[in-house]
Amino acid sequence: MNVTIVDYQSGNISSVINSFTEVAKGKVNIEVTSDIKKIKSSDKIVLPGQGSFKSCVDSLNSINGLVNTLKEFAITNKKPLLGICVGLQMFADIGYEEAETRGLGWITGKVSKIDNQKGKFKLPHIGWNEIEIQKESKIFKDIKNKSHMYFVHSYEFIPEDKAVISAITDYSSKIVCAVEKDNLFGTQFHPEKSDKIGLKIIDNFLKL
């Protein structure tokens, strides 16, 4: 099996590479590339994302043919794709970080700044928080409800169809922290930084 981590200059993806390599341990081939041909021929895709919504979308768009290739992979061919952090946020139609920016539009919804109740909650939301599982998700196999995951973000994905939400977390309000829609998976938290439990989520994705 070939799994591609999309490298589109979206900031620091070393931790994503390290953790997937650790879990794959030679059984699964992990590619790190933005090469369209390689992406097309892979079995699964990981779409990381760091920095702002706008900078990530701009970086994706700057690589000729990448957005269409990802769309063909995930939407037309319905092959498994995991978005992490801003990688998940970009599933939305629109984001408001830095400037109003169009997202990939794969799951109807928007990405807005977390309402921190006038400074009552510090932003970014950094650290370990419990996830509250909302529905059975293939990537949550053997993951206990209320497990701790590592977060670092100031914006949240608000999908229109609540049925896509697979987990939420509590920070000033109930924030969407994982989604599953058919073959599309996304986590707002960083499984690659969430210790053994996070590696288990990666393992679940690789075993899909």
Partner 1 sequence: MLKNRIIPCLDVKDGRVVKGINFVELKDAGDPVEQAKIYSDGGADEICFLDITASNENRETITDIVRKTAKECFVPLTVGGGVRTIQNITDLLLAGADKVSINTSAVKNVDFVKEASKKFGSQCIVVAIDAKKVSDNKWEVFTHGGRNKTGIDAVEFAKKVEENGAGEILLTSMDKDGTKSGYDVDLLKTITNNTNIPVIASGGVGTLDHLYDGIVKGGASAVLAASIFHYGEYKIKDAKEYLNSKNVSVRL
Residues 6+ apart with CB under 8 A from 116: 122, 123, 172
Which of 27-35, 51-59, 87-95, 160-168 is the region at the interface with partner 1 (rule: CB under 8 A)?
51-59
CA distance between the termini of the chain:
11
What kind and span of H or E run contains 203? helix 195-206
Site for partner 1, residues 5 to 34, rule: CB under 8 A = 11-12, 14-15, 18-19, 21-22
User: Phi, psi at residue 87, to the nearest 5°?
Assistant: -60, -40
Least CB distance from residue 136 to partner 1, whole Å? 24
Cis bond upstream, residue 124 (ω within 30): yes
How many Cβ atoms are within 10 Å of 53's Cβ, its own excluded? Answer: 24
Least CB distance from residue 77 to partner 1, whole Å? 31
Q: Which two tokens stand for residue 19?
A: 């953790």
Site for partner 1, residues 161 to 180, rule: CB under 8 A = 170-171
Asked if 85 is an active-site residue, the reply is yes
55 vs 58, 115, 189, CA distance in Å? 5, 22, 19
Asked if 190 is an active-site residue, the reply is yes
Q: Which two tokens stand for residue 132?
A: 């509250």
Which of 28-36, 75-83, 121-129, 137-145 is the region at the interface with partner 1 (rule: CB under 8 A)?
121-129
Print the binding letters for residues 80-119 with partner 1: x by CB under 8 A, - otherwise.
------------------------------------x--x
Q: Which two tokens stand for residue 174?
A: 């109930």
Site for partner 1, residues 59 to 78, rule: CB under 8 A = none
Catalytic pick from 56, 85, 156, 180?
Answer: 85
Out of 43, 71, 150, 181, the residue judged to bind partner 1 by CB under 8 A: 150
**Residue 130 near partner 1 by CB under 8 A:** yes
Active site residues per annotation: 85, 190, 192
